[in-house]
Amino acid sequence: MTLTRAEAAFRAIKTPLAERPISHQKEQRVEAHIFLCVLAYHLLISIEKTLLDQGVHTSWATVRETLSTHHINTVVLPTNGGLVLRIRKASTPEAAHRHIYQRLDINPEIVRPRKSWSAG
């Protein structure tokens, strides 16, 4: 494993979180950053290996691109009474999504639909 590959894995994990690059000044934070890079690397390699063992020859980049179209949506509905209803639900997984989830032994219903009320 090269540090470059571990850094790339870390970027792949944090990009959906919209994290910005941070230059660490303290040794403890640098060590934590390296630990998280290695952890991300192992996670991505584990996903690739699990898929390979299932006969799916693909990379993390392809998996990520395929799953990027499976969304979780939150609908916000204000009411006349001043309350707000929020409904959170995943979109219906397409065949390509279901294929990856099945191979990784992940429930295709990635989140259960949830309703919540709050003051506007």
At residue 15 the predicted structure's pLDDT band, cuts being 50, 70 and 90, is: low
100 and 113 belong to one structural domain: yes
- Per the prediction, the chain carries an average pLDDT of 85
76 and 30 belong to one structural domain: no
Q: Is the Cβ–Cβ distance between 47 and 56 less than 8 Å?
A: no
Q: Return the structure tokens found at 48.
A: 């690739």
At residue 104 the predicted structure's pLDDT band, cuts being 50, 70 and 90, is: very high
Q: Is the Cβ–Cβ distance between 96 and 66 less than 8 Å?
A: yes
pLDDT attached to residue 47: 93
**pTM more than 0.85:** no
DSSP states along 53-84: HTT----HHHHHHHHTT--EEEEEEE-TTSEE
Q: What percent of the chain has pLDDT over 90?
A: 57
Q: What SS3 state is found at 105?
A: coil
Name residues whose C-beta falls within 8 Å of residue 96's C-beta, 6 or more positions apart in sequence. Answer: 66
pLDDT single digits (tens) 44-92: 889 999 999 999 999 888 999 999 999 999 999 999 999 999 999 999 9
63 and 78 belong to one structural domain: no
33 and 86 belong to one structural domain: no
Task: Identify the domain containing residue 117 by its residue range.
Answer: 71-120
pLDDT attached to residue 95: 97
pLDDT over threshold 80, residue 18: no
